[in-house]
C-alpha cells in the first residue's frame, strides 16, 4: 500500500492524532486511520497496547501485544484484512496458521459475517483450537506444520471459492501490523529506540514496522535519528532466518524437522524471508536463535520478577536481550523495545507441559 502523505506532513497533523483519539472512547490502532486504507473498520478494540517499563532493566520496554483481542498481535493484521475483505464483498476467507492467526481470523470473520476456513497443525496450543471453533470457523487440524497447512489452502481455494488471506498474499495485513511501529514511536515520545526485538515466524510485523518507519520519516512525525537495529529472534528448533542471515544468504532454505514449544515460530520457510533479511542488514541488526530451555528459563524469570507472563515467542526476545547485553552489542542504558507477541495464558497447556505441571486429581491431598 502506498499513500499520498503530503497533506499529513508536519507536527500539526501528528498532534491531530492524539486529539481525535481523545474524542473517542477507544480508537486503538485506528488512531492512525489517516495512514490506513479508507474503510469502515471491523474492530474489536485492537491496538494501542501497553508499553511496560522493566523493573530491572532501565532501558527495556515490553510492548505487550497480549492485550489485543484474541490475545495476540495477529488481531492487528486480521482487523485490516477482514475490514478490506468485507469492503470488497468477499464471503469466504481461508488461512494456514501456526495458531494465533487462526483465532484472530475466526473472531474478525465472525464480527464481519464472513466464513472463515482455518488450517492449523494439530498440536497447536489448545486455546487456539478452542477459540477458532467457538467463533464458528471451519477448522481443519493438520498432521504437519504451517507449510503443510498452506499447501492445503492453495490446493483447495479455487474449488471452494476461498480468498487466501495468509501472510503477504494480500497487502492489508501488513498495514495493520505497521501500526506497531507507529505506536512504539509515539509511546516513546515520537523518537526511535536503539533496537527493536521481534520474535520472528512469518515476520510480517518486522516488515510492517520498517514500512512505518519510512512513512514516519516522510511525514516528519519522528524526531531525527537513526532507525532502530531490528533484531529477529527465533527458536533454535526452527531458525531458517537466523541461518540465512549468518550464512550471508538473500533468502532462507526450508528448515527440516522443525520443533519448538514456541509454536508461532514454527515456520520452516517464511514467505517474506528475503525482505526480512534486507531489513536486518540495512538496520545493522541481527538474527538470533535460542534453545527451548533458554526460552523457558527466561519466561519463568520474567513471570516471577516482572509480573509479565510472556508467550514462548515473547521470551525469545528477553533471552536475546540478555545475550546482547553480555556480548556488548547493547549497553544497559540503550532504550530498546521487546515485543511480547501474545499472552502467555494462551499457552497454558504447552507451558505446563514444559515445566512439568499437572492438575491434581480430586482425591489428591492439597498442599
Alpha-carbon distance of 292 to 280, in angstroms, equals: 23
**6-71+172-351 belongs to CATH 3.40.50.300:** no
pLDDT over threshold 60, residue 207: yes
List pLDDT tens digits, range 68-100.
999 999 999 999 999 999 999 999 999 999 889
Region 205-220: mean pLDDT is 97
Half-sphere exposure of 302 (CA within 13 A, CB side): 29
Cell of 259: 520443533
The residue among 215, 226, 231, 218 whose CA lies nearest residue 191 is 226
Question: Residue 184 phi/psi, 5° resolution?
Answer: -65, -35
Cβ 278 vs Cβ 203: under 8 Å? no
Alpha-carbon distance of 280 to 196, in angstroms, equals: 11
Global pTM value: 0.94
pLDDT over threshold 90, residue 49: yes
List pLDDT tens digits, range 128-162.
999 999 999 999 999 998 889 999 999 999 999 99
The pLDDT-based confidence of 365 (bands split at 50, 70, 90) is low
pLDDT of residue 21: 76
pLDDT of residue 271: 92
Alpha-carbon distance of 302 to 312, in angstroms, equals: 11
pLDDT of residue 362: 58
pLDDT over threshold 60, residue 336: yes
Region 220-249: mean pLDDT is 97
List pLDDT tens digits, range 2-22.
999 999 999 899 988 888 777
The pLDDT-based confidence of 25 (bands split at 50, 70, 90) is low
pLDDT over threshold 70, residue 102: yes
Q: Provide the CATH number for the domain formed by 74-164 in this structure.
A: 3.40.50.1100
Q: How confident is the prediction for the chain on average, in pLDDT?
A: 94
pLDDT over threshold 90, residue 196: yes
CATH 3.40.50.1100-classified regions of the chain:
6-71+172-351, 74-164
pLDDT over threshold 70, residue 366: no
Cβ 151 vs Cβ 85: under 8 Å? no
211-226 in b/e form (b: 16+ CB < 10 A) is: bbbebbeebebbeeee
Cβ 7 vs Cβ 219: under 8 Å? no
pLDDT of residue 22: 74
Amino acid at each position: 500500500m502506498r499513500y499520498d502523505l503530503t497533506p499529513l506532513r508536519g507536527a500539526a497533523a501528528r498532534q491531530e492524532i492524539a486529539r481525535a483519539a481523545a474524542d473517542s472512547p477507544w480508537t486503538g490502532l485506528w488512531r492512525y486511520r489517516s495512514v490506513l486504507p479508507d474503510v469502515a473498520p471491523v474492530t474489536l478494540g485492537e491496538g494501542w497496547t501497553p508499553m511496560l517499563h522493566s523493573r530491572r532493566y532501565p532501558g527495556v520496554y515490553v510492548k505487550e501485544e497480549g492485550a489485543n483481542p484474541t490475545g495476540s498481535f495477529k488481531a492487528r493484521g486480521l482487523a485490516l484484512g477482514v475490514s478490506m475483505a468485507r469492503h470488497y464483498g468477499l464471503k469466504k476467507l481461508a488461512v494456514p496458521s501456526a495458531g494465533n492467526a487462526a483465532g484472530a481470523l475466526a473472531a474478525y470473520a465472525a464480527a464481519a459475517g464472513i466464513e472463515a476456513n482455518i488450517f492449523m497443525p494439530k498440536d497447536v496450543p489448545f486455546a487456539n483450537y478452542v477459540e477458532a471453533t467457538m467463533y464458528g470457523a471451519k477448522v481443519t487440524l493438520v498432521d504437519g506444520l504451517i507449510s503443510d497447512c498452506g499447501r492445503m489452502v492453495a490446493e483447495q481455494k479455487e474449488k471452494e471459492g476461498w480468498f487466501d488471506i495468509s501472510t503477504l498474499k494480500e497487502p492489508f495485513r501488513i498495514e495493520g501490523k505497521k501500526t506497531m511501529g507507529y505506536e512504539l514511536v509515539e509511546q516513546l515520545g515520537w523518537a526511535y529506540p536503539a533496537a527493536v526485538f521481534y520474535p520472528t515466524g512469518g515476520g510480517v510485523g518486522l516488515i510492517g514496522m520498517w514500512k512505518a518507519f519510512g512513512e514516519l520519516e516522510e511525514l516528519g512525525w519522528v524526531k531525527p535519528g537513526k532507525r532502530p537495529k531490528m533484531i529477529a529472534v527465533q527458536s533454535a528448533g526452527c531458525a531458517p532466518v537466523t541461518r540465512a542471515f549468518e550464512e550471508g544468504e538473500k533468502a532462507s532454505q526450508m528448515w527440516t524437522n522443525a520443533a519448538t514449544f514456541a509454536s508461532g515460530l514454527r515456520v520452516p520457510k517464511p514467505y517474506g524471508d528475503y525482505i526480512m533479511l534486507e531489513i536486518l542488514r540495512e538496520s545493522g541488526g541481527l538474527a538470533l536463535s535460542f534453545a527451548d530451555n533458554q526460552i523457558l528459563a527466561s519466561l519463568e524469570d520474567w513471570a516471577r520478577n516482572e509480573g509479565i507472563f510472556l508467550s514462548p515467542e515473547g521470551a525469545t526476545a528477553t533471552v536475546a536481550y540478555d545475550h546482547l547485553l553480555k556480548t556488548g552489542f547493547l549497553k544497559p542504558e540503550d532504550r530498546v523495545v521487546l515485543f511480547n507477541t501474545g499472552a502467555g495464558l494462551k499457552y497454558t497447556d504447552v507451558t505446563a507441559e514444559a515445566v512439568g505441571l499437572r492438575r491434581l486429581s480430586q482425591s489428591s491431598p492439597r498442599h
